[in-house]
Amino acid sequence: MDIVVLLGPPAVGKGTQARHFQQDGFFHFSAGEYLRARSKQGDALGDSIAAIMNAGDLVPGAVVTGAVRELLDEKISAGGIKGLLLDGFPRSLDQAEEFAQIVAARNLSLKVIELTADQAVLDERHRKRRQEALAAVVVSGTPPERNDDDDATFRHRMETYRQETAPVSAYYAGTGALIQVDATKEAEAVRAAICQALEKPAASFVPPAAAKPAPAP
């Protein structure tokens, strides 16, 4: 079973590409969708997850890492899928390191696709997505699907990405598992580039010895 991690900044098009994977026999786990659903359970943890997400910050990693571990074990034992696509996980170095242990303990190989686009493209995609979401609210009369996509929170999520998530691609670059895909093109062309990248056999995953600087003696 292939494990594919999909990395990339907010509004780069991870969700759009992930939906294609689903049609190709992959199980799609979106960390953001999982957390949005978890935040609506009406308990204290759900309320605190909602508050963190609405602020554009990262939810404590253990909540997501635990869900990924359970999902992996469930899918490995059930079989019947081509692979598992993790979208929005790992999102910090701590998560990447914990995930590396999960992967190594199960002897899985990993492919990491990073979608890239410059800031102007991301801003334009966000502007369009926001406009469409607001138009849908007018038509349906129901609240927007997400509460963290207004301009100010989007900028904060971008900053969170730079601080917390960008180091994850450097981490994977050191393992040989990272494949960067230019996501500025149309969705179909990006999809084709991802499919081509995935045709290469997965390198066996060797976690970097030390992603973080060792503490001073």
Binding site for ligand AMP (CB under 6 A): 10, 31-32, 35, 52-53, 56-59, 61, 64, 88-89, 91, 95, 148, 157
**Which is closer to ligand AMP, CB of 25 or CB of 66?**
66
- The answer to whether the CB of 83 falls within 8 A of the CB of 29 is no
**Which is closer to ligand AMP, CB of 41 or CB of 204?**
41
Closest CA relative to residue 39, chosen from 52, 29, 30, 49: 49
| Least Cβ distance, residue 214 to ligand AMP (angstroms) | 25
| Least Cβ distance, residue 186 to ligand AMP (angstroms) | 21
| Least Cβ distance, residue 12 to ligand AMP (angstroms) | 10
Distance, in Å, from the CA atom of 41 to the CA atom of 47, rounded to the nearest integer, reads 8
**Which is closer to ligand AMP, CB of 64 or CB of 190?**
64
**Which is closer to ligand AMP, CB of 152 or CB of 214?**
152
- The answer to whether the CB of 92 falls within 8 A of the CB of 164 is yes
| Least Cβ distance, residue 210 to ligand AMP (angstroms) | 22
- The answer to whether the CB of 12 falls within 8 A of the CB of 42 is no
The answer to whether the peptide bond before residue 201 is cis (omega within 30 degrees of 0) is: no
**Which is closer to ligand AMP, CB of 34 or CB of 205?**
34
Closest CA relative to residue 45, chosen from 24, 19, 66: 66
Residue whose beta carbon is closest to ligand AMP: 32
| Least Cβ distance, residue 153 to ligand AMP (angstroms) | 8
- The answer to whether the CB of 193 falls within 8 A of the CB of 96 is no
**Which is closer to ligand AMP, CB of 13 or CB of 88?**
88
| Least Cβ distance, residue 80 to ligand AMP (angstroms) | 26
Distance, in Å, from the CA atom of 85 to the CA atom of 44, rounded to the nearest integer, reads 29
* Residue 98 backbone phi and psi in degrees, to 5: -70, -40
